[in-house]
């Protein structure tokens, strides 16, 4: 099953505005270029799954922008594995899932009820570590690699 990279966004600092991009370089040293969390070992990149986001905001405000979640990549058409260890390929880039992106209480500052809506079934997305570098472009194919 293949999916698609729908969007890219970065933030220069904690609580800074999300800056959308059509393309980005992804490296082991910096994660998604321009995102301040990219130097963290296990949370270099955060991936949000479009279908999970839609389910989370369905009963709140379906028009809420995905960037409210503050993830760096939005993908569609591939399932959320809900476990660490899987490898997501986006173009030439490879991302090793390291865990769940835990929703925090600040989600409710953006949209009341969002924190609880993101908590079931890893709806807040996954954290990942870069294991193969390259450029990603909105529209790139996304797929899970077989172990």
CB-CB contact of 89 with 4 (8 Å)? no
DSSP string, 130-143: EEE-EEEETT-EEE
Overall number of domains in the chain:
1
- The CATH number covering residue 80 comes to 2.40.33.20
**Average confidence (pLDDT) per 10 residues, the chain, 147 residues:** 96 92 97 90 93 97 96 97 97 97 89 95 97 98 89
What does pTM read for this prediction?
0.96
pLDDT, position 43: 86
Taken in order 121, 20, 22, 60, the sign of the CA dihedral is: positive
pLDDT, position 147: 57
* Residue 130 belongs to domain spanning: 2-144
pLDDT, position 39: 81
């Amino acid at each position: 099953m293949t999916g698609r990279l729908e969007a890219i966004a970065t933030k220069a600092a904690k609580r800074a505005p999300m800056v959308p991009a059509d393309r980005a370089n992804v490296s082991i040293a910096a994660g998604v270029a321009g995102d301040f969390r990219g130097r963290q070992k296990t949370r270099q990149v955060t991936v949000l799954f479009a279908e999970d986001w839609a389910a989370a905001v369905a009963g709140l405000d379906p028009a809420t922008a995905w960037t409210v979640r503050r993830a760096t990549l939005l993908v569609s058409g591939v399932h959320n594995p809900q476990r660490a260890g899987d490898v997501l390929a986006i173009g030439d880039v490879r991302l090793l899932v390291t865990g769940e992106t835990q929703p925090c209480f600040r989600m409710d500052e953006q949209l009341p009820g969002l924190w609880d809506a993101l908590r079931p079934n890893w709806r807040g997305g996954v954290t990942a570590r870069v294991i193969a570098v390259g450029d990603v472009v909105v529209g790139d194919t996304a797929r899970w690699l077989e172990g």
